[in-house]
Amino acid sequence: MKSRNHQVFVRKFKEEFESVILGGGVIVALLVLWEIASDLRWINPMFSSSPSRIVNSGWKMITDGSIFIHIQSSGLIFIYGYLLAAVVGIPLGIMLGWFKKASQALGPIIAAFYTTPRIAMMPLFIIWFGLGIGSKLALVFLSAVFPLIVNMQAAVSNLDKDLTRVAEAYGANRRQIFWTIALPESVPFLLTGLRLATGRALLGVVGAEVFGGAEGLGYLIQYAGATFQTDIVFVCVIIIAAFGMVMDRSLLALNRRFDAWRGNGC
Amino acid sequence: MAEAEMGHTNAKVPSKLVVNELVISYENLATGEMTEAVDKVSLDIKAGEFVSIVGLSGCGKTSFLNAIAGLIKPQSGSIKVDGKPVVGPGHDRAVVFQKVSLLPWRSVLNNVIYGLELRGVKKNEARQLALKYIEMVHLKGFEHYYPHQLSGGMQQRVNLARALVCEPEILLLDEPFAALDAITREEMQNELLLLWEQTRKTVLMVTHQIDEAVLLSDRIIIFSARPARIVEEVKVNLPRPRTPRLKNDAEFDFLAKKIWGQIHTTAGKKVSLEYEI
């Protein structure tokens, strides 16, 4: 028994390991190629930078602390915007999914917003909310809120018919069906919505900061790009990508816990 | 005809479920046409009786059961439980569906409690009752397992316990073991037999397994092809308590063959149609 478990573990480990080696290997190979190409002047490092330059410049910004003001600024906008989107989007989506009248009334507006690139409205937000945090928050909020609304609405309005029938057969009223079937059943959709919202919110943060203001990773990207400091652009991109990946992986890991009871037909 | 006959033979035992000239039809949402599923079916089930309805798939037997469960509204006719008309789902009836449909986010214990919880039974009391029935369906030790960790047979046991724990007046079984493999199905039939001997609930079961119907029932009602009418009622006078060994009995065999013949002669038209296509 023990040795069997051990075998399974070893096999799993090998599989994991192989995928890490393959995926990581390609990245490392590309980085090495990039470094060589830049050292041998096949490409101009002023335009394309190089891994060593990026590391150097990243390290410098960390040691002199200049990067943190930007991370903090972007981070705060992200957190506030994301939380606000969750607080508004989740209940709104549930309401739209549950009450047919609500979705009939608000559906067209939401569909219109959903398909419009939010960044197109940034000049308006700046006029309405100023160049400070207000306009940025508005953009991040509007970017992140729709995936949440749409996912929660889909979850609550497409309940498993067999489960609602069981609930009805046991005498559940509509309120009870909501609490005992609709809400638990929509948890995986909530996590999917949160994952999508993460990407959209990050897009919103960078977009808003590129548009205006004097701090934040988006601002830094825009400024560094305009002054040909491509290594700084890369440092910012890497920070944002890393943050996005960590968020996404965490939510995915949480989501996996629900896979067991999703779609196995019981 | 059949109804009158029953009335005479079992006059002393009170009726638990009385169905009178029930008509069920469905509206085709595209064309607006009405399709009849059940056509003037009358039925009288005594307290403590185990009655099965057999018929071909799609003959309307599940619609009939759903109407008794209060899940669909009949076109006309009446359904009465203990003399009270059925207007919707109620605590006096519990349904075991063919599709197990346990709530996947709830443990076995919390699934079994579900019906009681909806009714507002106190947590502690519900728990005690649930544990009793979990033991009765031989799932002791699995209280904290989740449905996806159980086999199909075990899931169906949970489904049974979830219905039994409500201590309904009438247990409605809708092809409860149809989705199980042959061996598990036999095991569950035996299980149900034992449970019924213990509780002597009034049971109405829909099935297309003839041997299952003969083994378990006091009376078998044969439905015609759609729209369903009662073709015949067959009394099963095999002695109780029964065991699956009864399936080797000559009388069992005779009854099973007779019912098989009845279903297929009444369905002759439909079967030949299917073959033509």
Q: What is the pLDDT of residues B165-197, one digit of tens each?
A: 998 999 999 998 888 888 888 888 888 898 898
Q: Is residue A204 domain-shared with residue A183, that is, in the same domain? A: yes
- Collapsing DSSP to helix, strand or coil, B85 comes out as strand
Contacts of A103 (CB under 8 A, 6+ apart): A96, A97, A153, A157
Could A261 and B146 be called an inter-chain contact, meaning their C-beta atoms sit closer than 8 Å? Answer: yes
Could A171 and B97 be called an inter-chain contact, meaning their C-beta atoms sit closer than 8 Å? Answer: no
pLDDT score for A141:
95
On whether residue A265 sits in a domain, the answer given is: no
Q: Which residue of A170, A183, A185 is the best one to mutate when testing the B interface, meaning the one whose CB has the most B CBs within 10 A?
A: A170
Contacts of B5 (CB under 8 A, 6+ apart): B233
pLDDT score for B4:
43
Closest residue to B69, CB basis, from A169, A185, A187? A169
Question: pTM of the full predicted structure?
Answer: 0.80
- Mode of pairing for the β-strands spanning B76-81 and B15-27: antiparallel
Q: Is residue A39 domain-shared with residue A126, that is, in the same domain? A: no
On whether residue A97 sits in a domain, the answer given is: yes
Contacts of A6 (CB under 8 A, 6+ apart): none
pLDDT score for B208:
85
Q: Are A163 and A185 in contact (CB under 8 A)?
A: yes
Q: What is the DSSP letter of B86?
A: P
pLDDT score for B7:
43
User: Once rounded to an integer, what is the mean pLDDT over residues A95-110?
Assistant: 91
What radius of gyration, in Å, describes the C-alpha atoms of chain A?
24
On whether residue A75 sits in a domain, the answer given is: yes
Q: Which of B90, B70, B74 is nearest to B42 (CA)?
A: B74
What radius of gyration, in Å, describes the C-alpha atoms of chain B?
19
Q: Is residue A211 domain-shared with residue A254, that is, in the same domain? A: yes
On whether residue A266 sits in a domain, the answer given is: no
pLDDT score for A16:
80
Strand ranges in chain B using DSSP code E only, listed in sequence order:
15-27, 34-46, 50-54, 76-81, 84-85, 93-96, 170-174, 202-207, 219-223, 230-235
Domain CATH for A153: 1.10.3720.10
pLDDT per residue as tens digits for the range A55-84: 999 999 999 989 999 999 999 999 999 999
Q: Is the pLDDT of residue A14 over 90?
A: no
Q: Are B165 and B113 in contact (CB under 8 A)?
A: yes
Contacts of B203 (CB under 8 A, 6+ apart): B49, B50, B51, B170, B171, B172, B173, B196, B216
Please report which confidence band the pLDDT of residue A219 belongs to, taking 50, 70 and 90 as the band edges: very high
Query: Residue B230 and residue B52: Cα distance in Å, rounded?
Result: 12
pLDDT score for B271:
44
User: Chain A closest CA to B87's CA: distance in Å?
Assistant: 12
In our burial notation (b when 16+ CB lie closer than 10 A, e otherwise), range A166-182 reads: bbbbbbbeeebbbebbb
Q: Which of A1-15, A23-37, A194-208, B53-67 has the lowest mean pLDDT?
A: A1-15
Decide if A164 touches B, using CB distance below 8 A. no
Q: Is residue A23 domain-shared with residue A138, that is, in the same domain? A: no
Strand ranges in chain A using DSSP code E only, listed in sequence order:
none
Query: Residue B43 and residue B172: Cα distance in Å, rounded?
Result: 14
Per CB-CB distance under 8 Å, the chain B contacts of A260 are 104, 146, 148
Cβ-based interface (< 8 Å): residues of B facing A: 69-71, 89-91, 94-95, 97, 99-105, 114-115, 117-119, 146-148, 150, 155, 166
Q: Are B23 and B226 in contact (CB under 8 A)?
A: no
Could A171 and B104 be called an inter-chain contact, meaning their C-beta atoms sit closer than 8 Å? Answer: no
User: In this structure, is the dihedral angle defined by the CA atoms of residues B179, B181, B186 and B187, taken in order, positive or negative?
Assistant: negative
Closest residue to B148, CB basis, from A184, A187, A260? A260
∠ Cα A205 A209 A212 (to 5°): 150
- Collapsing DSSP to helix, strand or coil, B17 comes out as strand
- Collapsing DSSP to helix, strand or coil, B40 comes out as strand
On whether residue A175 sits in a domain, the answer given is: yes
Could A172 and B118 be called an inter-chain contact, meaning their C-beta atoms sit closer than 8 Å? Answer: yes
pLDDT score for A3:
67
Helix, strand, coil share (%) of chain A residues, nearest 5: 85, 0, 15
Q: Is residue A101 domain-shared with residue A178, that is, in the same domain? A: yes
- Collapsing DSSP to helix, strand or coil, A170 comes out as coil
On whether residue A8 sits in a domain, the answer given is: yes
Ramachandran area for residue A205 (φ above 0: left; ψ -120 to 50: alpha; else beta): alpha
Angle between helices A51-63 and A230-259 (to 10 degrees): 90
User: Chain A closest CA to B187's CA: distance in Å?
Assistant: 20
Q: Which of A90, A122, A96, A128 is nearest to A110 (CA)?
A: A96
**Token pair in block for residue A132:** 């400070």
Q: Is residue A28 domain-shared with residue A58, that is, in the same domain? A: no
Number of structural domains chain A divides into? 2
Q: Which residue of B63, B87, B95, B103 is the best one to mutate when testing the A interface, meaning the one whose CB has the most A CBs within 10 A?
A: B103
Could B103 and A176 be called an inter-chain contact, meaning their C-beta atoms sit closer than 8 Å? Answer: no
Which regions in chain B score pLDDT beneath 70?
A: 1-11, 266-277
pLDDT score for A2:
56
Please report which confidence band the pLDDT of residue A7 belongs to, taking 50, 70 and 90 as the band edges: confident
Query: Residue A130 and residue A51: Cα distance in Å, rounded?
Result: 38
Could B89 and A169 be called an inter-chain contact, meaning their C-beta atoms sit closer than 8 Å? Answer: yes
Q: Domain range for residue A85? A: 52-259
Could A163 and B103 be called an inter-chain contact, meaning their C-beta atoms sit closer than 8 Å? Answer: yes
A window 172-201, beta carbon within 8 A of B? 172, 176, 180-181, 184-185, 187
Structural domains in chain B, sorted by start: 2-86+172-276 (3.40.50.300), 93-167 (no CATH)
pLDDT per residue as tens digits for the range A178-189: 999 999 999 989
Q: Is residue A64 domain-shared with residue A39, that is, in the same domain? A: no
∠ Cα A81 A149 A136 (to 5°): 20
Q: Are A162 and B99 in contact (CB under 8 A)?
A: yes
Please report which confidence band the pLDDT of residue A224 belongs to, taking 50, 70 and 90 as the band edges: very high
Q: Is residue A89 domain-shared with residue A185, that is, in the same domain? A: yes
Q: Is residue A37 domain-shared with residue A73, that is, in the same domain? A: no
Q: Is residue A35 domain-shared with residue A57, that is, in the same domain? A: no
pLDDT score for A261:
62
Q: Is residue A31 domain-shared with residue A62, that is, in the same domain? A: no
pLDDT score for B56:
83
On whether residue A264 sits in a domain, the answer given is: no
Q: Are B182 and B139 in contact (CB under 8 A)?
A: no
Q: Which residue of B has its CA nearest to A260?
A: B148
CB pairs below 8 Å between A and B: how many? 65
User: Chain B closest CA to A154's CA: distance in Å?
Assistant: 19
On whether residue A174 sits in a domain, the answer given is: yes
pLDDT score for A138:
94
Q: Is residue A108 domain-shared with residue A237, that is, in the same domain? A: yes
